[in-house]
Amino acid sequence: MTIVTPLVGPGPNAGPTRRGLLAAASATTALALLPRRASAAAPLGPVAEAEAVIAFGHIGPISDGGWTATHHHGMLAAKRAFPKAKFLEVESIPVSADATRTFRQFVENGANLVFVTSEYGDLLSSVADDAADVGFLECNGHRTSDNQGWYYIQHWRVSYIIGVAAARMSKSGKLGFVGSFPVPAVYSCANAFLLGARSIRPDATAQVILINSWFDPQAASQAANALIQNGIDMIYTNLDDASCLQVAAKAGIKCATWNTDMRASGPEAYVTSLLLDWDRFYVAQIAARLSGSWSGGGRTILPVGGGVDRDAWGASVPAETAALADAVRRRILGGWNPIQGEIKDADGKVRVAKGAAMDEMACYGWNWPVEGVSGLRSA
Amino acid sequence: MRTYTVQRVPSVSGRVRTGATLLSCLASVLAAGLLLALLGLHPAALGLQVLHQSLANRYGLEDLALLAAPLAMCGLSVSLMLRVGLWNIGADGQFFVGAAGAAWIGLYGPSWSTLPMLALMGAASMTAGAAWIAVPALARLILGTSEIITTLLLNFVARLGIDWLVTGPWRDRASSVTAQSPRLPVAIPKLPRDWHLGGMHWGLAVVLALACVLALAFRFTRWGYELRICGANRNAASYAGMAVNRRLLEAMLLAGAVAGLGGMLELAGTVHRLQSGLSNGYGYVGIIVAVLAASSPLGVVVTGVLMALVLNAGTVLQTQGVPSSAAVALVGLILLSAAVGERLANYRLQRIPPAPRPGQAA
């Protein structure tokens, strides 16, 4: 059995040196997939490290062990890389007018660069438009301006790899997915997961249950239980917590999670996790802001191996299954796009023709379920 | 030996009440400072920072006004019902439903110019808010069902209804992470720039005007007088020939309409999209706002601003490195002390003169 150490992933020993981070950072910048808009904005002026103020605003608590914990990890890495800069961090910012107030406080505190680790839309852009000398980066955002950009991760490709393993880990071929809202982040994740599974097992299906929250352990457990009662024996979830994994372990089925290594919550059920690593991206963006080369309009999707990857396979994953999925992973690392036509939607309509591939922006805005996915509707 | 007894004072002067509230707020701020010191922070510096960032910066006043407006609207709604001795725990739900009514007009209604459109949205929000409280109101008047329970429970129904609307039929296709409606095509105009209130919108003027109108109506109209008597003693009011049930119904429906209008102002003035986070517990904070103001409409404006200051302090504290849980706890502590102090003002310590000893010459 081969257990491949993941390339990235937050862990207690992940304490990279500043030089290493900066070297990696330039690599990440080179890997940023999307071109800036034609009318590139002028860079914001340089800032001395000792006078720099970097702000982080999170959607959840930094102790969530999931999404926000990974961003907090990135902030700590940035803090180590720029020890003289001042860092502000606010957690659990509600998606309400309170968010606007918090972002304004960042500006008022002299922030030079603000990272907002979830999409706040207008609540953020109204502040950004009023503070032209402050840079804003919105995770999973959509808007760009002279001083605002967005960043995200290529999670659909990792979900594809996980789908390949899931097809082998499931006996019945009936897969389950527990998600939050009917939004592209969930469509792309569930779709790519099933496409990966169908590449191995063409009769596989995926039933999706949405719980209308990113963090609601009770609802997540109920959803996982409902899937299990429908005969599903492999669950994938992109929620922040490990409750699906716990339910899966109790029921004797398999589960893959998101954000962090969660195997401790159900070692015998754990297949893998989609790991997030923002360290290099954050350090690179701050370095650019300080040197005076940062400008708005950036659209970054961090690639597999450069911000998102699978975790080391769980103890119950056979070596052969791991090797099968890792072969796909190697192809992806080599630049192969696994989201290839022909792809039909759940109504049987051909959406991606044979021989065509879905590009990254199409995956980023995915809003229809692929054939075999139930529980999501075409938006 | 001296003995003391605690006596309830039938009526307290406004000055004593205000003094007690201020004193207890001060005490809680001191306690909060102690807590911050225990967390290893500098309470005095943080306090100055909070005041500076809440009042003296280019966003502070605007943020304060933007937060105070929905709090005051919910406070006005609660105080309207307190006038007749009823509790409106459901301002949050009415706020949401009012916003939904306004969003429906804004998104799917006619495409008129801004002013008539806003008027129609306001009317829709007031109708929706009043309709939302109509069931608890009728249940209260006909069956005697406690309005505290029914209005509270309807908050959850309203919130889930909004969740359904924004994840289902009204979902914005462009946004990615959370569920929200598309941006409304109409917005309440901003105040003129040279008034130095930044991005504050004309909704603020609506709040102030409504508070004044209610204050005048309570003070100078027969209707306002009857509301007060109905609240003080329903039997006496009935004996005096007042239409008690009618007044109660009017107060409740109006309370729902005011909270609903608050939702519309927040939607069309500040947030511009219907979403589950539109009210961050404003209806519940509105109860504290109304109680601290002793249900006076003008007082509600003042306590609404104070409450906004306290809640804003929570945000400022977080940017200064105070954990969010500690910031929430501090805000809760201040609110609790203020409410307790206001109640304690009704009591006084009375010295009991020692009883004459038996055998002692009179």
Side-chain half-sphere CA neighbours of B164 within 13 A: 7
Share of chain A above pLDDT 90, in %: 76
Q: Classify residue A202 by its DSSP letter.
A: T
Interface membership of B281 toward A (CB under 8 Å): no
Does residue A6 lie within any of the structural domains?
no
Under DSSP, is residue A206 helix (H, G, I), strand (E, B) or coil? strand
Under DSSP, is residue A57 helix (H, G, I), strand (E, B) or coil? strand
**B174 → closest Cβ in A55, A95, A142:** A142
pLDDT digits (tens, 9 = 90+) for B30-71: 888 888 888 788 888 888 888 887 777 767 678 888 899 999
Does residue A7 lie within any of the structural domains?
no
Q: Classify residue A109 by its DSSP letter.
A: T
Residue B57 and residue A108: Cβ atoms within 8 Å?
yes
Interface membership of A96 toward B (CB under 8 Å): yes
A-chain CB neighbours of B323 within 8 Å are 91
Interface membership of B183 toward A (CB under 8 Å): yes
pLDDT at B345: 78
Q: Contact B155/B283 with Cβ under 8 angstroms?
A: yes
Domains held by chain A: number: 2
Share of chain A above pLDDT 70, in %: 89
pLDDT at A18: 43
A-chain CB neighbours of B312 within 8 Å are 101
Q: Are residues A133 and A161 in the same domain?
A: no
Mean pLDDT for back-to-back runs of 10 residues, chain B (362 residues): 76 76 81 83 83 74 88 97 94 97 94 93 97 95 94 95 89 72 90 70 93 95 93 90 92 97 95 89 91 89 89 83 76 77 78 69 48
A113 CB-contact burial (10 Å; exposed 0-12 / middle 13-18 / buried 19+): buried
Does residue A332 lie within any of the structural domains?
yes
CA distances from A328 to A321, A337, B19, B205 (A): 11, 10, 72, 62
Q: Are residues A234 and A106 in the same domain?
A: no
Does residue B172 lie within any of the structural domains?
yes
Q: Contact A139/A115 with Cβ under 8 angstroms?
A: yes
pLDDT surpasses 90 at A146: yes
B-chain CB neighbours of A144 within 8 Å are none
Provide the CATH number for the domain around residue A252. Answer: 3.40.50.2300
Domain membership of residue B287 as a residue range: 73-307
- For an interface test with A, the pick among B46, B71, B176 (most A C-beta atoms closer than 10 Å) comes out as B176
Tokens 């954990």 appear where?
A: B323
Q: Contact B122/B257 with Cβ under 8 angstroms?
A: no
Min Cα distance A105 → chain B (Å) is 7
**B63 → closest Cβ in A101, A109, A130:** A101
pLDDT at A116: 97
Min Cα distance A41 → chain B (Å) is 24
Tokens 């982040």 appear where?
A: A185
Does residue B253 lie within any of the structural domains?
yes
User: Cα–chain-centroid distance for residue A7?
Assistant: 16
Beta-strand ranges (E) seen in chain B are: 3-8, 347-352
pLDDT at B24: 81
Does residue A169 lie within any of the structural domains?
yes
Torsion B39-B42-B44-B45 (CA) sign: negative
Band the pLDDT of A1: cuts 50, 70, 90.
very low
Q: Are residues A323 and A235 in the same domain?
A: yes
A–B CB contacts, 8 A cutoff, strictly below? 110
Torsion A348-A350-A351-A352 (CA) sign: positive
Does residue B344 lie within any of the structural domains?
no
**A108 → closest Cβ in B53, B173, B174:** B53
Residue A184 and residue B176: Cβ atoms within 8 Å?
yes
Q: Classify residue B271 by its DSSP letter.
A: I
Residue B275 and residue A95: Cβ atoms within 8 Å?
yes
Q: Are residues A150 and A60 in the same domain?
A: yes
Comparing CA positions, the residue from B127, B164, B77 lying closest to residue A182 is B164
Worst-scoring range by mean pLDDT, A232-236, A252-256, B128-132, B318-322?
Answer: B318-322
Tell me which residues of chain B, numbers 55 to 94, contact chain A at a CB-CB cutoff of 8 Å.
57-60, 63, 66-67
pLDDT at A206: 97
Q: Are residues A180 and A37 in the same domain?
A: no
Rounded to whole angstroms, the Cα distance separating B162 from B97 reads 8
Tokens 């539109």 appear where?
A: B278
Interface membership of A379 toward B (CB under 8 Å): yes
Rounded to whole angstroms, the Cα distance separating B148 from B129 reads 17
Comparing CA positions, the residue from B86, B87, B121, B129 lying closest to residue B105 is B121
Rounded to whole angstroms, the Cα distance separating A92 from B198 reads 26
pLDDT digits (tens, 9 = 90+) for B118-134: 999 999 999 999 999 99
B-chain CB neighbours of A96 within 8 Å are 271, 275, 277-280
pLDDT at B197: 62
Strand pairing partners for A300?
A151
Vertex A363, ends A157 and A143: CA angle to 5°? Answer: 120
Min Cα distance A247 → chain B (Å) is 25
Amino acid at A198: R
CA distances from B355 to A241, A302, A366, B310, B350 (A): 68, 85, 86, 48, 15
- For an interface test with B, the pick among A212, A240, A361, A363 (most B C-beta atoms closer than 10 Å) comes out as A212
Rounded to whole angstroms, the Cα distance separating A337 from B308 reads 51
pLDDT digits (tens, 9 = 90+) for A117-141: 999 988 999 899 989 999 999 999 9
Interface membership of A378 toward B (CB under 8 Å): no
**B280 → closest Cβ in A94, A118, A183:** A94
Domains held by chain B: number: 1
Under DSSP, is residue A147 helix (H, G, I), strand (E, B) or coil? coil
pLDDT at A318: 96
Rounded to whole angstroms, the Cα distance separating B169 from B158 reads 16
A354 CB-contact burial (10 Å; exposed 0-12 / middle 13-18 / buried 19+): exposed
pLDDT at A98: 86
How many residues comprise chain A? 379
Residue B175 and residue A119: Cβ atoms within 8 Å?
yes
Under DSSP, is residue B308 helix (H, G, I), strand (E, B) or coil? helix
pLDDT at B344: 79
pLDDT digits (tens, 9 = 90+) for A174-187: 999 999 988 889 99
pLDDT digits (tens, 9 = 90+) for B193-234: 776 666 688 999 999 999 999 999 999 999 999 999 999 889
Q: Are residues A148 and A264 in the same domain?
A: no
Rounded to whole angstroms, the Cα distance separating B230 from B85 reads 8
Q: Where are the alpha helices (DSSP H) in chain A?
A: 18-31, 67-81, 97-108, 122-128, 155-169, 184-200, 217-229, 243-251, 279-291, 319-333, 360-364
**A88 → closest Cβ in B179, B312, B319:** B319
Q: Are residues A133 and A268 in the same domain?
A: no
Does residue A1 lie within any of the structural domains?
no
Q: Are residues A205 and A348 in the same domain?
A: yes
B191-218 per-residue burial string, b: 16 or more CB within 10 A, e: under 16:
beeeeebbbbbebbebbeebbeebbeeb
Q: Are residues A216 and A81 in the same domain?
A: no
pTM greater than the 0.95 cutoff: no
pLDDT at A378: 78
**B53 → closest Cβ in A96, A105, A140:** A105
Domain membership of residue A129 as a residue range: 18-154+277-302
pLDDT at B190: 85
Rounded to whole angstroms, the Cα distance separating B166 from A212 reads 11
Q: Are residues A112 and A257 in the same domain?
A: no
Does residue B15 lie within any of the structural domains?
no
pLDDT surpasses 90 at A65: no
Rounded to whole angstroms, the Cα distance separating A174 from B236 reads 71
Rounded to whole angstroms, the Cα distance separating A281 from A151 reads 9
Amino acid at A324: L
Comparing CA positions, the residue from A338, A316, A343 lying closest to residue A327 is A338
Band the pLDDT of A36: cuts 50, 70, 90.
low
pLDDT at A76: 97
pLDDT at A370: 96
pLDDT at B320: 81
pLDDT at A31: 45
Residue B92 φ then ψ, to 5°:
-60, -45
A-chain CB neighbours of B175 within 8 Å are 119, 121, 142, 183
Rounded to whole angstroms, the Cα distance separating A205 from A207 reads 7
Q: Are residues A190 and A333 in the same domain?
A: yes
Residues 6+ apart with CB under 8 A from B103: B170, B181, B184, B267, B274
ipTM over 0.85? The verdict is no
Instruction: Summarize the confidence of residues A77-99 as an average pLDDT.
Output: 93
pLDDT at A294: 95
Under DSSP, is residue B333 helix (H, G, I), strand (E, B) or coil? helix
Interface membership of A184 toward B (CB under 8 Å): yes
pLDDT at B136: 95
Average pLDDT, chain A: 88
Comparing CA positions, the residue from B340, B262, B341, B200 lying closest to residue B72 is B262
Vertex A170, ends A166 and A171: CA angle to 5°? Answer: 155
pLDDT surpasses 60 at A28: no
pLDDT digits (tens, 9 = 90+) for A265-323: 999 999 999 999 999 999 999 999 999 999 999 999 999 999 999 999 999 999 999 99
pLDDT at A4: 32
Q: Are residues A191 and A317 in the same domain?
A: yes
Q: Contact A44/A295 with Cβ under 8 angstroms?
A: yes
Q: Contact A306/A134 with Cβ under 8 angstroms?
A: no
